[in-house]
Homo-oligomer: A and B are copies of this chain.
């Protein structure tokens, strides 16, 4: 009898028997992702069989067809395409650029047109070039020193910021608004230092806007690699009369039909409460968009597959949404929110992965204090998986438009150190994604979805915009 009691006591106190249901389910999720994940295979196909998926391209359409087929095969309750018109901007023939320190003495440099830019004249554009560290310097220089020239924006990302996205935020105005602002002072074109913390030879594209600048006043904009930016800057110090030449033949076409790809497991208890997990299916055209954001798409797809495979039946309706056109228009995210609003759908939670397929560190959460505290209360459940960031902050561009509905929004936060080595550049390729890191991200997302579904959100005032 005594031995039996002792045995019972021992069994009761061993970790296995004291494991809670949540601990078990989350362990099952991670085990499934790491031993039987599909994300990496899907990404291989998206990246290596389809490639870069710029909105309006044939590849973007292939990606819609492929992911729809794959979701169909998962046996979800519903899979559909949500129509959305998207802009179609095309790069055209490869860009070409050089700088000239004296007549005939030229050095070629790697550039790429910024997304949305106009072309240069057919024969290219050649002019003196003036370096600035940011938009605010334009006013100081004034029309006298800018008119008829090319403006070279060369403020680098701040390497001392641990979160590289903060360093990106501190620079990206040069890319987004550099052309519009320089045009006001009579500039003929702009060259922008790539948003890259590393010194290398890849130019990084990304969106820029003309706003309401009349079409005939729009000037072409291109990114230059960080190595070339350094070289050009040094050259300008030695020879301020250096001229810059570039030629690009990009073009904006009429909008074309495209789609958000959506799959759903209908909730068993609260089918009218919708939770979204997603990423964006479009990418830039230079690489194959593996980190931005093929990774987020395949992780989101695997969240539903993993939960299904572990036998978990969501109480709420769980949707994977692969948004179209995040990069140069945000049409997919806006359309999804618009339709949700029209249909009066109640969205309670949305989680986006759009920061690369790197080792997950945690989440940023855009919600009321009560809801952030609820999620922070689950910290211990995530600790064995080294997930430790649960910070108030943004979520994801595509799910942002859902915000008015008062839902909890969150973004997966992977380790950010390598992200801008690849972001929007030719080297954002499948080889740069580590299988385990990608899978850990999917498992981390699935675990939060599980907890949010099981416990629901905390009833609260509408989140203020």
A residues whose Cβ falls under 8 Å from a Cβ of B: 30-31, 34-35, 159-160, 162, 164, 197-198, 359, 361, 384-386, 388-389, 415, 417-418, 421, 434-437, 440
| Known contacts A197-B436, A436-B159, A436-B197; A415/B359 CB under 8 A | yes
Complex: chain B residue closest to A420, CB-CB: B436
Check A417–B389 contact: CB distance below 8 A.
no
Complex: chain B residue closest to A439, CB-CB: B159
Q: Which residues of B contact A386 (CB under 8 A)?
A: 162, 361, 388-389
Check B388–A417 contact: CB distance below 8 A.
no
Q: Which residues of B contact A198 (CB under 8 A)?
A: 435
- When the two chains form the complex, which single residue of B162, B197, B361, B418 contacts A30, counting CB atoms closer than 8 Å? B162
Q: Shortest beta-carbon distance, A359 to chain B, in Å? A: 5
**Which has the most chain B C-beta neighbours within 10 Å: A198, A359, A384, A436?**
A436
A-B contacts, 17 of them at CB < 8 A, read A30-B160, A34-B159, A34-B160, A35-B159, A35-B160, A159-B436, A162-B384, A162-B385, A197-B436, A359-B415, A359-B417, A361-B386, A386-B388, A388-B388, A417-B434, A417-B437, A418-B434
**Which has the most chain B C-beta neighbours within 10 Å: A30, A35, A415, A421?**
A415
Query: How distant is the Cα of A434 from the Cα of B440 in the complex, in angstroms?
Result: 20
Query: How distant is the Cα of A98 from the Cα of B233 in the complex, in angstroms?
Result: 56
Complex: chain B residue closest to A440, CB-CB: B417
Query: How distant is the Cα of A179 from the Cα of B359 in the complex, in angstroms?
Result: 36
Complex: chain B residue closest to A31, CB-CB: B160
Q: Which residues of B contact A31 (CB under 8 A)?
A: 160
Q: Which residues of B contact A389 (CB under 8 A)?
A: 386
Q: Which residues of B contact A359 (CB under 8 A)?
A: 359, 415, 417
